Amino acid sequence: MARVSDVELQEVAADLQPIYQRYGKEYGPFMNQVRVFAHRPVLLKHMMSMLLEMADESIVQKRHLEIALVTVSKVNECHYCVAHHAPRLIANGLPAETVAGILESDCPGLDPVDRLVRDYSIQVTKQSKMVSDNMFSRLLAEFTEPQVVELTFRIALCGFYNRFNEALRIEIEDGVLEDFLTRGGALSDLPSDSVTLAAEG
């Protein structure tokens, strides 16, 4: 259990229950996260619904988005987000060994655009002020301005979720680690906290 109590569906206002259910099950499985966010209905109403709408209308390829999310989550050592997004990245065509070593500068299995997204994600997460004009020009050679805006927003937002999840110790849902392992991942590919949690579970 997280550091705060769970808020169950029946405790949520009727108009917010569809967001609660869709985010927790369809967008997720992120049910443990949504149970914590539900302490503040305004977060359900705006944060969760925004992500649901962006998922429906995304203009960034899923592969590139998941590269960004896994990269940021590995930099920030968020066990919850790595466990959820690594299987999605594998499902979008990257080998499990590439996902495991995605922070390595010479990581195999990344094409030039994949590598650019990875490098940009690291830069924005670690030193956003240091993003060079050269890197930005390379981004604009591959993506439209609206795509760069969306990608940058999702990179920055992922950092927020990493910190939120880790500070409140939101636990990985049942079945998520199993899905990751089934797709070729290994517990050693995850931040150390998730290995401890899996052992305790």
- Confidence at 192, pLDDT banded by 50, 70, 90: low
Same domain for 148 and 177, yes or no, is yes
pLDDT tens-digit series, residues 72-101: 999 999 999 999 999 999 999 999 999 999
In a domain, 42, yes or no: yes
In a domain, 168, yes or no: yes
Same domain for 52 and 69, yes or no, is no
φ and ψ at 60, to 5 degrees? Answer: -105, 135
Structurally, the chain folds into a number of domains equal to 2
CA terminus-to-terminus distance, the chain: 11
d(CA 133, CA 115): 17
Q: What is the pTM of this model?
A: 0.91
Tokens of 106: 């010479």
* Residue with tokens 């995605």, as numbered in its chain: 102
The amino acid occupying position 72 is: V
Q: What is the pLDDT of residue 196?
A: 41
Same domain for 67 and 35, yes or no, is no
For residue 73, give its domain range.
Answer: 62-200
Q: What is the pLDDT of residue 46?
A: 95
Q: What is the pLDDT of residue 188?
A: 78
In a domain, 3, yes or no: no
Average pLDDT over residues 105-131: 95
Q: What is the dihedral of CA 111, 117, 119, 124, to 10 degrees?
A: 180
